[in-house]
Amino acid sequence: MDLLHGLNAAQKAAVTSDAAVLQVLAPPGSGKTKTLTARVAYLIAHRSLKPWNIITCTFTRKAANEMKERIRTFVGEEHAKQIKLGTFHAIAVQYLRQYGQHIGLGKDFGIADSSDSKAVLKRIIKRNSFTIEPGAALSRISSQKVRGINSEQLALKAKHIEQQEFAQIFAEYETELKASNLLDYDDLLLQCCFLMTTHPQCVSNVEAVLIDEFQDTNTTQYDLMRLFAQKRNMITIVGDPDQSIYSFRSAEIQNLTRMKEHWPDTLTINLEENYRSSGAILHAAQNIIEQDESRPPKKLQATHGLGLCPVLRKLPTAAAEATWLVSEIQRMCALSGKVVNPSDCAVLLRSAALSRMIEAALSKAGVPYRMVGGVRFFERAEVKLVLDYLRVINQPDNNEAVERIINVPSRRIGDATIKGLLNEAKAKSTSFWTFIREVSQGKCRSKTKLAAPAEKGLASFVNIILSGRRKLTSVDSDKVSVVDLINLVIKKADLQAYLKNHYENEYEARWSNIEELMALAADACDPDKVRAMMQEETLPAIDGFEQRAPTEEDALSIFLANVALTASAEEKKADGEESEPVQQVTISTIHSAKGLEWPVVFIPACFDGSIPHSRSDDNDEERRLLYVGMTRAQAMLYLSCPIKNTQREDTTMSSFLTQPGVGSFFEEHGPSMSFATATGLATTLKRDRPSHDAFQDGKKSLERDEDDYWPLNGEEPPAERAKWDYGRAENPLPAFGTTRPASWMS
């Protein structure tokens, strides 16, 4: 397959460039990710780089998997598997696991995901009677760490009492994670930077480093990129300053200029054609981003025709908004089923909390959906419980996890007893697990008084963990699967009875989550997959530099690390090769939708306080966020605003949408799903156009549940609209920033 086929001249130039350091800066939908993917393939096929010596970083696991898939089509399965491709965190974990011993890190470190970190902070805050929110404390700690500041340095600078309190929280947080042999997300990156600074051998093989969504890298990620590339200095980044939406997580847009200072020969290539969205969507989005007057003007050319006008709707209430949105999805899907199916539609939200109404409306209407970044599968209580048991079996020094499960299900070990035992362990500088194991085996006496039932409970807990560990480390260990361990835990801890008593009516749903977890584990532990995983996980050997290449005994560690780094099971399922293709509407935050695209996109709750968000003080970033959301749409974009929010308070439409002139880029009332709309969508999606009869049938079926605020006007389309075409525009629209198409909407 010709990997340059179908690329435009600028994209080809970027793919084949001989520049060592290359920046590709371009607006959404201009093919940055496509270009980056083709460049990886090009470096292997035409520059003879070894796939295992190329590191490619993406922002989300979903993007990583999509990219792997695309690269596979160019260079074949065998090569694609060997590419080091993943999020910064996933790559850092690989390095730390295999080379961490050089910086004193055991192989069995655990990963504290953000909910673990928050739980630790919550306890510290409570213990000290401070008032800060755990989430707020975590992001403050994270922004210090990203700047390379530790708690000691912070304490030296702290003047006000509030700063001193925070420094103390930070210090205790560091101590607790360390005692539990846990690394949080920031530590993974920082430790990896430390490893690569002190032991550059471990990246001596790296020939090229490629980064997607570079505008959202923070300082640590930038350093990591530089360190990965330290031997050859061959770097390609792609990004778009207009899509920088992670400054709240310390992303630094200045990294673009830093890079140029660092490597003055950096070559910049701009891509100017948009291949994703219809002209009308692009104009509307462009109009929003241009409200930022400090932003340099940019050229952007639509390659598609105008298409369908985006819709801006006001609905009476949030519930009505949700009902309208769902009925609109149903209308589209009803049109002969070929034009649009639920998986073509995405609902993108400013914050995950807005999803409840929409989920309820979708469920009521029986429209399947999947949540990205909502209540995460791996954070559900019952799933977390089983995972905690696995974590402790894998790494019993994880004090946090031991504390969470020692009395779940109840073993009649009271809080005071747990606290007493924990303090004793601390005083002896030993882990909680080691201490309770010795107490329970009579090898050591505890000062904390244990009533007979508690003593029995403790023994039973120790027994469960020991049996799990025996299984894990037995001679036959390569035959132990994670599923066996889950079954052992369920049986020995009697989790089914616990869930029945604890959740009563919800038992079925809770239990099905555990079954789902087992299915995921079974999938991950399939012997062929384990072998493939080992191969993918193994970093290339470096002469004279010791490496702990993963073995099959590491399957549990790797499974748990994957869990910690996966946003949700839903996401994982959608990526899985064997999973049935389910036609589901996607509900996601705008943040998690970065880099992705859908034929039909809804952005509800466009009111002041939601977007721009009341808790954000960076209006420009909020505007960019709306821009990112809008530019995910290919054929149809709906923005909406309820006149009353979920608390029944009056809202004001988002100030980004009430600027003079914005209205002319949207249609307020339509389009109802008319024949023209369906035809327009079908042409965009390159699917069969609906027959007129199919349209009439669809319309009739929908007229039955017509609602009062939206009259159906499915009459024949005006002649000129029927002509709308999405193929490559015969007369492409003028480039943005040159002439604004003044009245094309009228």
Residues that bind Mg ion (CB under 5 A): 32-33, 595
Quote the least distance from Cβ 683 to ligand ATP, whole Å. Answer: 16
Q: Which of 3, 15, 25, 32 binds ligand ATP (CB under 6 A)?
A: 32
Q: At what angle do helices 527-537 and 61-82 cross, to 10 degrees?
A: 90
Q: How far is the CB of 637 from ligand ATP (least distance, A)?
A: 14
Told to check if 6 binds ligand ATP by CB under 6 A, we report yes
Q: Which is nearer to ligand ATP, 572 or 624 (CB)?
A: 624
**Residue 466 one-letter amino acid:** L
Contacted by 672, from Mg ion, ligand ATP, none: CB < 5 to 8 Å by type: none
- Helix 185-198 and helix 219-228: axis angle, to 10°? 30
- Contacted by 34, from ligand ATP, Mg ion, none: CB < 5 to 8 Å by type: ligand ATP
Return the one option of Mg ion, ligand ATP, none that residue 276 interacts with (CB less than 5 to 8 A, by type): ligand ATP
Distance CA 349, CA 611 (A): 9
**Piece in contact with ligand ATP (CB under 6 A), picked from 32-40, 46-54, 570-578, 718-726:** 32-40
Among 21, 23, 25, 33, binds ligand ATP (CB under 6 A): 33
**CA nearest to 52, candidates 79, 70, 22, 32:** 79
DSSP letter at 144 equals: H
- Could you give the 3-state DSSP secondary structure of residue 217? coil
Of 613, 599, 590, nearest in space to 308 by CA: 599
**Cβ atoms 370, 570 nearer than 8 A:** yes
Determine if 435 is a binding residue for ligand ATP (CB under 6 A).
no
Is residue 192 within 8 Å of 220, Cβ to Cβ?
Answer: no
Closest distance between ligand ATP and the C-beta of residue 308, in Å?
Answer: 18
Token pair of 625 as six digits: 């966020």
Tell me if 727 contacts ligand ATP by CB under 6 A. no
Tell me the site size for ligand ATP, rule CB under 6 A.
18
- Applying the rule CB under 6 A, the residues between 256 and 285 that interact with ligand ATP are 275-276
For residue 567, the one-letter residue type is A
> Residue 59 CB, nearest distance to Mg ion (Å)?
9
Q: Is the distance from CB of 271 to CB of 238 less than 8 angstroms?
A: no
- Based on its alpha-carbon atoms, the radius of gyration of the chain, rounded to whole angstroms, reads 28
Site string for ligand ATP, 545-584 (x = CB under 6 A): ----------------------------------------
Residue nearest to Mg ion (CB): 33
337: left (phi over 0), alpha (psi -120 to 50) or beta: left
* Residue span binding ligand ATP (CB under 6 A) among the ranges 1-9, 138-146, 340-348, 711-719: 1-9
- Per CB under 6 A, the list member of 28, 110, 599, 604 interacting with ligand ATP is 28
User: Shortest gap between Cβ of 595 and ligand ATP (angstroms)?
Assistant: 4
15, 23, 29, 724: which one contacts ligand ATP (CB under 6 A)? 29
Nearer to ligand ATP, 7 or 371 (CB): 7
Selected binder of ligand ATP within 14, 15, 21, 34 (CB under 6 A):
34
Partner touching 458 among Mg ion, ligand ATP, none, CB below 5 to 8 Å by kind = none
- Residue 62 near ligand ATP by CB under 6 A: no
- 7: contact with ligand ATP by CB under 6 A: yes
Closest separation in Å from C-beta 572 to ligand ATP: 21
Partner touching 28 among Mg ion, ligand ATP, none, CB below 5 to 8 Å by kind = ligand ATP
SS3 state of residue 85: strand
539 binds ligand ATP (CB under 6 A): no
Give whichever of 345 and 676 is closer to ligand ATP, judged by the CB atom.
Answer: 345
Are the CB atoms for 205 and 544 separated by under 8 Å?
A: no
6 binds, among Mg ion, ligand ATP, none (CB under 5 to 8 A by kind): ligand ATP
Candidate residues 595, 604, 680, 698; the one interacting with ligand ATP per rule CB under 6 A = 595
Identify which of 605, 591, 740, 628 has the alpha carbon closest to the alpha carbon of residue 287.
740
Q: What is the dihedral of CA 465, 471, 477, 483, to 10 degrees?
A: -80
Site for ligand ATP contains 680 (CB under 6 A):
no
d(CA 574, CA 583): 10
Selection from Mg ion, ligand ATP, none that 151 binds (CB < 5 to 8 A by kind) is none
Sign of the CA dihedral running 407, 410, 412, 416: positive
Mask for 216-245, x = binds ligand ATP (CB under 6 A): ------------------------x--x--
Q: Which of 344, 245, 321 is nearest to 601 (CA)?
A: 344
Specify the DSSP element, H or E, that contains 599: strand 598-603
- Work out how close the CB of 432 gets to ligand ATP at its nearest, in angstroms, rounded to a whole number: 45
Distance CA 283, CA 289 (A): 10
d(CA 292, CA 276): 23
Minimal CA–CA distance to 382: which of 404, 360, 355, 403? 404
Q: Which amino acid is present at 586?
A: T
Q: Which is nearer to Mg ion, 33 or 355 (CB)?
A: 33
Closest residue to ligand ATP in the complex (CB): 31
- Render 257-320 in DSSP notation, one character per residue: HHHHHHSTT-EEEE--EE-SS-HHHHHHHHHHHTT-TTSPP---EE-B---SPPEEEEEEEHHH
Q: Alpha helices, DSSP H only, in 100-160?
A: 114-127, 134-146, 151-157
Q: How many CA atoms lie within 13 A of 690 on its CB side?
A: 28
For binding to ligand ATP (CB under 6 A), which residues are involved? 6-8, 11, 26, 28-34, 240, 243, 275-276, 595, 597
